[in-house]
Amino acid sequence: MPMTAPDYTWHFTPGNTFSYESGQTGILSLAEVGELSLPTGRVVACDPFVYLGSGDIGAFTTQVPPGRYRVEAAIATLTRPGEPRATRPHTRVAAARLVIRDVPTVTWELALQEGQDVSELGDDEFFGYGVDAGTGCFYDASADGAFPGTEDEEGPVWAAMETVGDGPAVFFATGLDGHTLAAFTSGWGDGAYPTWVGRDGAGEVACFLTDFFVVPTRGEAPA
C-alpha cells in the first residue's frame, strides 16, 4: 500500500527527542516562517529555485478559503554523544506546515495534484515534489509569476534567503502585488518529499505539511 503518514503532532511538539543508529540525537523545536497570503486558497508546494515561475508545478486539488495562514517549521537540532558544544548548532528542517485551522489533526492524506491517483502507487510510494536546490516552499497558485528573477539568482526570494543567519534556515519573501512565499531548507537536501493534508475530526482541512524525512519512524524514535 502507499506510504502512510506518522503522527506529525509529535514532530511539532517542542522538546521531543529522537536518535539514529549512529548515536546522533535530535531535539525538536519550532520556528515561525511567516503568515502566508492565499488569495485564491490554491496551495502550491515546490522547490522555488527550480520551479517557481516555470508553470510546471500545479496547485493541490484540495483548496481552502482565501486568507492569511501561519507557516511554521519543525527544527531538529542534532548532536553526537561526547561532541564538543558547537558555536553554531547543527539544525535541519524536519518538516514544515501551513496551518489552516489551529485544531488537532485526526487524519492524513497525500496532497494531490490534478491527475494523480493514490491507487496507482505501490508499496511505500508517494506523490511529492522533487528538490534539486535544497529548498522547499508554500505559496498561492496566483503568485507563481510574482517573483521575477528567481531563475537568474536574483529577486526577492534570493534576497530573503541571504538574510538567513545562524538560526534555522527558514525565510519569507514578498513579491509583486503583495504576494508572499514561505520557504525552508529541505532536511538533508535534495530528494523527493511528500506533502500531506491534515484534517480535523469534522473532516475540515487543518493543515498542509511537507515531511523532509529527518525524524525516524516512531518505532525508532523514543517519545
The tens digit of pLDDT for each residue in 42-72 reads 999 999 999 998 888 999 999 999 999 999 9
The H or E element that residue 194 is part of is: strand 191-199
Residue 193's pLDDT is what? 98
pTM of structure = 0.93
Inter-CA distances, 25 with 21, 75, 81, Å: 9, 13, 8
pLDDT band at 84 (very low <50, low <70, confident <90, very high): confident
Tell me, what amino acid is at 143? A
Q: Check whether 219 has a pLDDT greater than 60.
A: no
C-alpha span between 58 and 123 (Å, rounded):
25
- CA-based torsion, 41, 44, 48, 51: positive or negative: negative
| Cα end-to-end distance, the chain, whole Å | 26
State the pLDDT at residue 222: 38
Q: What is the DSSP letter of 50?
A: H
Judged by average pLDDT, the poorest of 6-10, 25-29, 75-79, 87-91 is: 87-91
